[in-house]
Amino acid sequence: MPGCALDRLNAAQDGAVEAALLACCGSRRWARRLATHRPYPDLPALLAAADEASYDLTPRDLTEALADESVAQHAPSGSRGPGSLAAHTALRAAHAAYESKFGHVFVVCLDGVPHEEVLGHVLAAIRARLDNDAETEREVAADELRRIARGRLAHLAAIRPHGT
């Protein structure tokens, strides 16, 4: 459909596309690669290219992407009421333990997790992943970043301009 977000993404200037793509994954090489391989005929083609680029992240690319995630990091809000203060305190402690052990921010894809379950899901995921060794955890974090980027790309490709 003419004027859809994917058409605009395909037609945009390289710098604008890279900036939009960097909001999906903070690796400059990943964003450049996706921008260079335009045009994409449809969303599945864009997502397949994003997956391929994600699987090809170097350790340096992954470090860059994880550092970008730490800038945008915010606590999940999935719970209010009795026990939520304790849960948020436990979450902050788990994040601190994770960052101390692995040297980067914790990332997890929350697509499909109901809002009221986010806090518990994140806390359980951090606790489970604290048992990983550094190499295993970088692989898990890379896969979570890939999944997060897919969701952000799908959202980006679905955004319609105001007034349409």
**Predicted pLDDT of residue 164:** 43
Instruction: Report percent pLDDT > 90 for the chain.
Output: 74
The band of 158, judged by pLDDT with boundaries at 50, 70 and 90, is confident
Q: In three state form, how does the secondary structure of the chain look?
A: CCCCHHHHHHHCCHHHHHHHHHCCCCCHHHHHHHHHCCCCCCHHHHHHHHHHHHHCCCHHHHHHHHHHHHHHCCCCCCCCCCCHHHHHHHHHHHHHHHHHHHCCCCCCCCCCCCHHHHHHHHHHHHHHHCCCCHHHHHHHHHHHHHHHHHHHHHHHHHCCCCCC
Instruction: Report percent pLDDT > 70 for the chain.
Output: 86
Mean pLDDT of the chain: 88
Alpha-carbon distance of 150 to 111, in angstroms, equals: 10
Q: What is the DSSP letter of 115?
A: G
Task: Kindly report the backbone phi and psi dihedral angles of residue 105, in degrees, each rounded to the nearest multiple of 5, phi listed first.
Answer: -65, 150
Q: Give the residue from 79, 93, 132, 129 showing the smallest Cα distance to 109.
A: 129
**Predicted pLDDT of residue 38:** 96
Residue 163 has pLDDT above 50, yes or no: no
Q: At what angle do helices 59-72 and 134-158 cross, to 10 degrees?
A: 60
pTM, entire model = 0.87
Calculate mean pLDDT across residues 64-73: 80
Supply 17's token pair.
């596309």
pLDDT digits (tens, 9 = 90+) for 71-100: 555 555 555 555 567 878 889 999 999 999
Q: What is the DSSP letter of 81?
A: S
pLDDT digits (tens, 9 = 90+) for 97-151: 999 999 999 999 999 999 989 998 999 999 999 999 999 999 999 999 999 999 9
